[in-house]
Amino acid sequence: MPTITTNDLKNGMTLELDRDLVQVVDFQHVKPGKGGAFNQAELRNLLNGSKSNVRFRSSETVEKVRLEQKDHQFLFADDDAFTFMDQESFEQIAIQRDFIGDQGAFLQDGMTVSIEFYGETPIGVDLPEQVILEVQETEPVVKGQTAANSFKPAICDGGVRVMVPPFVGTGERIVVQTADSTYLRRSD
């Protein structure tokens, strides 16, 4: 693995530090009034999710990790895992529900996702930025309420809760941003 100095760290980089796989969440170069300059980094352990703050001397080196990304197709979900299929080798992989978390509600049959691997271990699942969902339940439209910039709660496919404009009704298809579950527009 290539080694880099801590001066070259950037947000989002993946490193191997003390046999742990960590990602740089936030990075700052600090030059105090007294003493030597140092680099302050907030690191997130990719295997267990814990966060830590670490100080590095400017001359220190760390090992940069290269991750492999592969496209996988979502097949199905069972009680405790989601199953994906590699689109090149057709091998199936099961990933625990806890690992994907709330983002699992956006998974749809046949959806293509990008899974990051460190060796053979999956360490991240990237969903598409936007998905199309059908509104399953929402309050009815109230006449005259559409002029105000107000939103109402709606429950969509997979149990996803989204705040939608008053003109959106039950049964309509909408585009939702997966990062923060925000309504973008009606689907075409």
Q: What is the mean pLDDT of residues 66-84?
A: 89
Question: What is the predicted pLDDT for the residue at 144?
Answer: 61
In this prediction the pTM is 0.69
The fraction of the chain above a pLDDT of 90, given in percent, is: 13
> Who has greater pLDDT, 6 or 133?
133
Read out DSSP for 4-43? EEGGG--TT-EEEETTEEEEEEEEEEE--SSS--EEEEEE
Residue-wise pLDDT tens digits, 16-43: 888 888 888 888 888 888 888 888 889 8
Measured distance between the N- and C-terminal CA atoms of the chain, rounded to whole angstroms: 47
Beta bridge partners of 42: 26, 53
Residue-wise pLDDT tens digits, 108-119: 888 999 988 888
In this prediction, residue 84 has a pLDDT band, given cuts at 50, 70 and 90, of very high
Beta bridge partners of 15: 22, 64
> Who has greater pLDDT, 145 or 103?
103
DSSP annotation of 147 = S
Does the pLDDT value for residue 1 go beyond 90?
no
Quick one: residue 168, left, alpha or beta (phi over 0 = left, psi -120 to 50 = alpha)?
Answer: beta
Burial class (CB in 10 A: 0-12, 13-18, 19+), 40: middle
Q: What is the mean pLDDT of residues 52-78?
A: 87
